[in-house]
Amino acid sequence: MKKLLLLIGLTFTLTFSQKLYSQCTGAQSSIDLTIDFTGDSYPEEDAWKIINTSTGATVDSVCFGVYSSGGTANITLCLDTGITYVLQALDDYGDGLDGSSWSIDYTFGGNIGTLGSNNYNVAINNPYCGASYSNNEVADSISFYVTYVAAPSCLPPTSLTSSNVSSSSADLSWTENNGASSWNLEYGPSGLHLELAQLLI
């Protein structure tokens, strides 16, 4: 049984947290990479790659220029367990990450590590994909060993939206991620504690 919370103000105000969960295999863990470009004046100069340290293979990457609009990038990856990886934060211009902050976490567990405070200035021998400059560098990096962290048995619904909102009703829709066929909807005035909410079945 799912529980959804609907908070009501003068008109219906729908609050929800949307998160996409990767469908990893049993030999993988779900990993979140979050890059905050809020303090970065040159996000188009940032790129990254994750490398399997035992094989040297790049398992995932993003080229320079992809993050030109700034904001926050949220990437969810499925990585094989029992392997050490390195996340390299790359800079195109060669002057560091310019204020972006990076965090890598288990989707269903704790923080693995953060990046963004160092400027290693390790030159990349060949221009990295999407490069506008010739002095690309590894600006920061972190090595991490992936252990198995199981997904919860009951994933929350995602993509929750509202339409036809009035002072007394609203149409709701969401994506069910576990095959549930019935849900509980809890509602009340805006700011109400969940324990005091009304229940619709």
The tens place of each residue's pLDDT in the chain, 201 residues long, gives: 454 544 444 334 444 333 444 478 888 999 999 999 999 999 999 999 999 999 999 999 999 999 999 999 999 999 999 999 999 999 999 999 999 999 999 998 899 999 988 888 899 888 899 999 988 999 999 999 999 888 777 767 778 888 888 877 888 888 887 777 777 776 666 666 655 555 554
**Which residues, in sequence order, are bridge partners of residue 126?**
none
Instruction: Give the start-end residues of each E strand in the chain.
Output: 2-8, 12-13, 28-36, 46-52, 58-62, 72-80, 83-91, 101-106, 111-115, 122-123, 137-146, 158-163, 171-175, 183-189, 198-200
Does domain 28-146 bear CATH number 2.30.30? no
Q: What are phi and psi of 122, to 5 degrees?
A: -90, 115
- Tell me if residue 124 falls in helix, strand or coil: coil
Whole-prediction pTM value? 0.68
- What are the boundaries of each domain within the chain? 2-17+156-200, 28-146
